[in-house]
Amino acid sequence: MKTPSPINRSRSAELFEAAKEYFPGGVNSPVRAFKSVGGTPLFIAKGDGAKIWDEDCNEFIDFCCSWGPLIHGHNHPYVFEKIVATLSNGASFGAPTKKENELAAFMLERLPFIDKIRFTSSGTEAVMSALRLARGASGKNKIIKFEGCYHGHVDALLVKAGSGLVTFGTSSSAGVPEAFANETLVLPLNDLAALEACFEANHHDLAAVIIEPIPANNGLILQDLSFLKSLRELCSKFKVFLIFDEVISGFRVAFGGATEYYGITPDIVTYGKIIGGGLPVGAYGARKEIMQFVSPDGPVYQAGTLSGNPVAMAAGLAQLELCAAPGFYADQAEKTNKFVESINDFAAQHNFPMELVSIGSIFWFSFNGKKRIAAAEQIDNDMSAFNFMHHFLLDQGVYFGPSGYEVGFISSAHTQEQLDFAQEKIKEALKAFYNQ
Ligand SMILES: *Cc1c(COP(=O)(O)O)cnc(C)c1O
């Protein structure tokens, strides 16, 4: 594992200057701009297995994995072969292809809680469509979401809690009309009393509750199983649709995502990331009684020029075939646990107030003594420890997503040697931060 010295990032810097002329903030998705950690984003030239290289030929072990889709790393030979074979017949037709059937059949056979799915081109689109379906099928309007859960950049969900515990949302982005935000009720995670009170007050006009059953977009905020179970019971009692947004957790913690992992069944589920194999895909699914509301069977309109794109379907199917191998998820979790425990033992020995929180092959650095947090408001705003570590590790050839609120991923491509190397570097980074 070599790290060129002195580290040259001039090509990334030049490209970023040019990009700033083309795109707002120089990027096509905000977190990529390194605003949170500071400094200049790296422009990535290529990836292979668990490694990526930037435009200056620096090499990194990648724990971002494109924010989750690449559960088998970059350019996995089987996924690559399927993409190329499909692409050689043309990229898109806007007509049905058998690739859609193949991916759907593979998923539905293994996801007994849904009868039908609809493919979209992103996770955001899947969530947006799932909300429309919940509203269209129930004839009700309001949605509950939880503070600290991210569901893509859907208008009605770019909403945070206002003051007070049970509250109408206030939009967290300019350009979202207050009238939209008013249809969204925002509650703290893992707070059953607040949830019950909100159901009592609003169930007449409540279409759905949407939650990341494993909240992993604002730290990793693992929920009490009892909270998730109560949520399921309340939704059933009041005939409110429960939507599990499994865009990150689906096919990540188990083939059937958090639904399978926890044994709690939602009414509507959304997927994305892993099911596209690195290409743009999302999906939503439900029982056929619910899915029959979707156009052209029913009145809930939803469409897409590139929906079910054959190349993306082939990439997703290839990844899922690999995921379905016996023992795959147990192996991933074991590999991740070993990595996490070694770092946590080290931090504990040195009294460093940091703990890695993890589930399956997802992990997150919880700093400032905040162990295993259950709600968003418990996260410290001070990200200085993560920011220090991020830059330290970049210099050492270890790449994390550029924000302390983001989780890391371990793929099946990460070798033990690479994990040992990264683990040592993380320990050095912690020592350097806490002993400075
Ligand atoms: C990433 C993510 C989304 C948005 O998916 P995009 O493909 O980025 O639009 C929605 N929900 C969750 C839980 C996600 O992790």
Q: pLDDT by residue (tens digit) across 201-241?
A: 999 999 999 999 999 999 999 999 999 999 999 999 999 99
Same domain, 70 and 87: no
CA of 273 relative to ligand 1 center, distance in Å: 7
Number of domains in the chain: 2
Q: Which residue has the higher pLDDT, 80 or 172?
A: 80
Please count the other Cβ atoms lying within 10 Å of the Cβ belonging to residue 122.
18
Phi-psi region of 282 (alpha: psi -120 to 50; beta: other; left: phi over 0): beta
Mean pLDDT in residue range 413-422? 98
Ligand 1 atom closest to the CA of 212, numbered from 1: 13
Is pLDDT above 60 for 165? no
Q: Name the nearest CA neighbour of 308 among 142, 155, 141, 99.
A: 99
* 316/351 same-domain check: no
CB of 273 closer than 8 Å to CB of 248 = yes
Instruction: Output the CA 128–ligand 1 centroid distance in Å.
Output: 11
- Mean of pLDDT values over 5-27: 94
CA distance 188 to 171: 16
Q: Per-residue b/e over 332-365, b at no fewer than 16 CB within 10 Å?
A: bbebbeebbebbbebbeeeebebbbbbbbbbbbb
Alpha carbon distance 371, 36 (integer Å): 22
Same domain as 137, residue 248: yes
Q: Which of residues 323, 348, 373 is at a domain's end? A: 323
In this predicted structure, the answer to whether residue 159 has a pLDDT above a threshold of 90 is no
Pick the closest to residue 149 from 90, 216, 225, 98 (CA basis): 216
Q: With b meaning 16 or more CB within 10 Å and e meaning fewer, what string describes 131-150? A: bbbbbbbbebebbbbbbbbb
Could you tell me the distance, in angstroms and rounded to a whole number, from the CA of residue 246 to the centre of ligand 1?
9
Distance CA 50, CA 47 (A): 7
| CA 125 to ligand 1 center in whole angstroms | 9
Average pLDDT, the chain: 95
**Could you read off the pLDDT of 296-352 as tens digits, one per residue?**
999 999 999 999 999 999 999 999 999 999 999 999 999 999 999 999 999 999 999
pLDDT at 4: 47
Last residue of a domain, one of 293, 323, 353: 323
- Pocket-testing residue among 131, 189, 273, ligand 1, by greatest number of atoms within 8 A of Cβ: 273
Ligand 1 mutation target, pool 210, 218, 243, 248, most atoms within 8 A of CB: 248
Indicate whether 1 belongs to any domain. no
Same domain, 85 and 213: yes
Coil, strand, or helix at residue 225? helix
What percentage of the chain has pLDDT greater than the value 70?
Answer: 96
Same domain for 338 and 265: no
HSE value, Cβ hemisphere, 13 Å, CA-based, for 143: 30
State yes or no: pLDDT of 41 exceeds 80: yes
C-alpha dist (Å) from residue 102 to 260, 315, 321, 402, 417? 22, 11, 11, 36, 36
Give a yes or no: residue 229 inside a domain.
yes
Q: Which amino acid is at 119?
A: F
Give distance in angstroms: CA of 129 to centre of ligand 1.
13
Cα–Cα distance for residue pair 208/142, rounded to 1 Å: 7
Catalytic residue among 140, 245, 335, 425: 245
Please compute the mean of the pLDDT values over residues 110-129 and round it to a whole number.
98
In this prediction, residues 285-304 reach a mean pLDDT of 98
- Indicate if 240 and 188 belong to the same structural domain: yes
pLDDT of residue 370: 64
- Domain of residue 375, residue span: 10-75+327-434
Atom of ligand 1 nearest to the CA of 127: 10
The pLDDT value recorded for residue 240 is 98
Q: Which atom of ligand 1 is nearest to the CA of 282?
A: 7
Using 50, 70 and 90 to split pLDDT, how confident is the model at 268? very high
Separation of alpha carbons 254 and 392, rounded Å: 33
Residues contacting ligand 1 via CB (< 6 Å): 122-124, 127, 150-152, 212, 217, 245, 247-248, 272-273, 282
8 Å CB contact between 374 and 226? no
Q: Tell me the three state secondary structure of residue 76.
A: coil
Rounded to the nearest angstrom, the distance between the alpha carbon of 127 and the centre of ligand 1 is 8
Reported as a single tens digit per residue, the pLDDT across 385-416 is 999 999 999 999 999 999 999 999 999 999 99
Question: In degrees, to the nearest 5, what angle opens at C-alpha 257 toward C-alphas 254 and 263?
Answer: 95
In this prediction the pTM is 0.96
Does 293 share its domain with 420? no
C-alpha closest to that of 17 among 55, 53, 60: 55
Q: Which of 295, 323, 351 is the last residue of a domain?
A: 323
> Whole-angstrom Cα distance, residue 101 to residue 8?
47
**Active-site residue identified among 142, 150, 261, 262:** 150
- Both 341 and 256 in one domain: the answer is no
Torsion of CA 111, 116, 121, 122, to 10 degrees: -50
Residue 250: CB partners within 8 Å, gap ≥ 6?
256, 257, 258, 269, 270, 271, 272, 273, 274, 275
104 and 242 co-located in one domain: yes
The residue whose C-alpha atom lies closest to atom 3 belonging to ligand 1 is 152
d(CA 156, CA 142): 10
Ligand 1 atom nearest 272 alpha carbon: 7
Residues 60 and 86 in one domain: no
Residue nearest (by alpha carbon) to ligand 1 atom 6: 123
Note whether residue 247 is domain-resident: yes
pLDDT tier at 164, thresholds 50, 70, 90: low
